[in-house]
Amino acid sequence: LRKRQEQQEAAAARMAPAGGGGGSAARKMAPSHVLKCCQRVLAWVPVAFIALVVAWSYYAYVVELCVFTITSTGEKVVYLVIFHLSFVMFVWSYWKTIFTSPASPSNEFCLSKSDKEQYEKEERPESQQEILRRAAKDLPIYTTTASRAIRYCDRCQLIKPDRCHHCSACDLCVLKMDHHCPWFVCFFFSVACL
């Protein structure tokens, strides 16, 4: 990651005209800022869609069915009580799903500073794997790649535990990625991280 940032900075420095670095840097940042702003707005689209579907469903059930269609007062009360109990549980679950952050691997899965430096200096994949195996010998890792290699995230710079994958929307490794839903969770992190 550090190498990539240094390469990008060096490329930007080569492209910047002499004596005019400040203005060109501001111009280069504008498209990125606009993109982030658009991402923030678009990230709420799934939530707005779900909210509209829930509002329409609420109107259809409570007003159209219970108020206008059902004539018995006792039946209305039973239907409304059961519906509202379910509705409150759904809204609470939806809220918790959206605003609860996904679990990330603990610090024990991060390489030590010396191991990280060795890993970055090493160019041969076999040697990199040996460094990872040495670092992961006491970690609870049972899942490896098809070639029996230790899984490592170059972006987060950590050894991946079982069921952990890098989420491109959150830009972090997420434990139990198979339970991580971008419709609910990633929108919040893309908004919060930008």
How far is CA 165 from each of CA 88, 105, 155, 156, 181, rounded to the nearest angstrom? 33, 10, 11, 10, 13
HEC string of 8-31 equals: HHHHHHHHCCCCCHHHHHHHHHHH
Tokens coding 107: 């610090």
Quickly count helices (H) and strands (E) in the chain: 7, 4
Short-list 55, 56, 80, 54, CA closest to 67: 80
Q: Identify whether 38 is a catalytic site residue.
A: no
Listed residue (45, 81, 85) closest to 66, CA to CA: 81
Q: Which of 153, 164, 167, 181 is catalytic?
A: 181
173 neighbors 85 (Cβ within 8 angstroms)? no
> Which of these, 155, 34, 157, lies nearest to 107 by C-alpha position?
157
Q: Give the catalytic positions in this structure.
A: 181
